[in-house]
Amino acid sequence: MVNVLVGLIGLGLVVFVHELGHLVAAKATGITVEAFSVGWGRKIWSFTRGETEYRVSWLPLGGYCKMQGEHALLRAWQDRSATINVEKGDFYAARPWQRILVLLSGPGVNFIFAVIVLAAISMIGYSTFSFPNRIVVADDFFPDPEAPARIAGLQSGDYVTEIDGREIASFRDLQMTVSQSAQRELTLTYRRDGVEESTRIVPALDQSTGAGRIGVFPWVSPVVAAVAPGSPGEIAGLQPGDRIRAVGELPVEHTVALEQAIRGSRRTTVTLQVERDGSVRETALVPGENEEGHLYLGIAYETMEIRSPDFGPLSGLAEGFRQSVRTLVLTVRGIGLLFAGVDLNQALMGPARITYLVGEVAAEGFRSGIGIGLLSFFNFLSLISITLFFMNLLPIPALDGGQIVLTFVEIISRRPLHPRLVYRYQVIGNVIILGLLFFAVFNDILFFARR
């Protein structure tokens, strides 16, 4: 329940910022705003200042900005009028460039919000945790001759040091670069036996997520960093600092080999050879399963801490803008991947699932501390905000982008468009939006039903 509440607050904040942009621009251009609501539905509390009623409504999911004369188009269509009858202060009474400014302001403020959030995160600084840039080729354990890593000639134990000129200092760097590069050829530099070499690699498209993958795991030495209370690892007597050397008589160099050696022995006792304080001892382990049916040992392994660079106010803003533009480019590329075989059932999410994910991301971060939780929460909000910026500017009727297209046509033709044309254009847009919303909500229902 707490996750859902956090998700509602987060998604509501992004939509509220969007509508606030419309409000400020409308007032600046002389358009009368009849009501501005935080939340939807029946109002709980309100006050009036000037010509605008400010409301707090019961459903905490964004809000809306109701401008005077918004229904003038519908009335003109119903009356079969050739023009839209307007009064001073109506939305359609404003000049075309003023309407475009109002329409742009919502998505524009979403982008500015993302820049400010990412700039603040950059200036405050943060730490992330990852594994080294050494890899295990998945094909060694899960045969796949078409795996990009195998085709590129990579081997388990290689250190990936650079991709397309970008330094790779950790496995997290590798994951981020590869996930954003599905079906794009990359130049990958790796170190093997002290010698650096380069190869070409094309990450495959993961159809369930749209991310790129090359078929590698991090090479993690099986050194115990922490043991969960009551877990199979604690029952077996494992302690932080222990180094697991073998499962039975089978030596293990990394955690992938360890888990594969144990995987076939769930609920069956296996013997581990464990090095502690320079001596090797044997202990019995009974593997368990988590709620999803995956192997569970209750063991955490050593990671490396990565501290973000220090940024001042100006450099932080520049970094926030750079990250926002990069996210926007990835969003556009992601839309393109929808036509490249991505599973729409997984890729298209509705409000319920987005709210759930916002809460989940925040909750997962808060488990590591308040700072990490806030970082995860606002980082994810910036991503949603940029996505909202891009989606709202698409030339789809009923969205801000579709309205902007109509207004540009009006400017070019130098005369108001016929209400019937505009209304039909908007009806088409509403049908498209309702269809997408229905599909997204249906996907949300299937998603929650499977959990």
Cα–Cα distance, 231 to 297 (Å, whole number)? 6
CA 5, CA 148: separation in Å to the nearest integer? 41
Q: Which two tokens stand for residue 145?
A: 């001759």
Q: Indicate if 302 belongs to the active site.
A: no
Whole-number Å distance between alpha carbons of 73 and 294: 57
Helix, strand, coil abundance in the chain, percent, nearest 5: 45, 25, 30
CA pair distance 381, 13, nearest whole angstrom: 9
Phi, psi angle pair for 289, to nearest 5°: -130, 145
Of 19, 162, 259, 319, the active-site residue reads: 19
Q: In what order do the strands lie in the sheet with 243-247?
A: 250-251, 243-247, 270-276, 279-285
| Residue/partner pairs of 391-398 with CB below 8 Å, 24 or more apart | 392/18, 392/106, 392/107, 392/110, 393/104, 393/107, 396/429, 396/432, 396/433, 397/425, 397/426, 397/427, 397/428, 397/429, 397/430, 397/432, 398/426, 398/429, 398/430, 398/432, 398/433
Q: Which residue has the tokens 């450099």?
A: 315
φ, ψ dihedrals at 314, nearest 5°:
-70, -45
> What tokens appear for 36 in the block?
């501005």
Query: How many whole angstroms separate alpha carbon 155 and alpha carbon 44?
Result: 63
Q: Are the CB atoms for 362 and 380 separated by under 8 Å?
A: yes
CA distance 188 to 218: 16
Q: In terms of residues, how long is the chain?
A: 451
Calpha distance 238→282 (Å, rounded): 10
Sign of the Cα torsion 71, 74, 75, 81 reads positive
Q: Give yes or no for a contact between 160 and 190, defined as CB atoms under 8 angstroms apart.
A: yes
Please check whether residue 215 is in contact with residue 138, taking contact to mean a CB–CB distance below 8 angstroms.
yes
Q: Where are the beta strands (DSSP E) in 50-142?
A: 52-67, 127-130, 135-137
Return the active site residues.
19
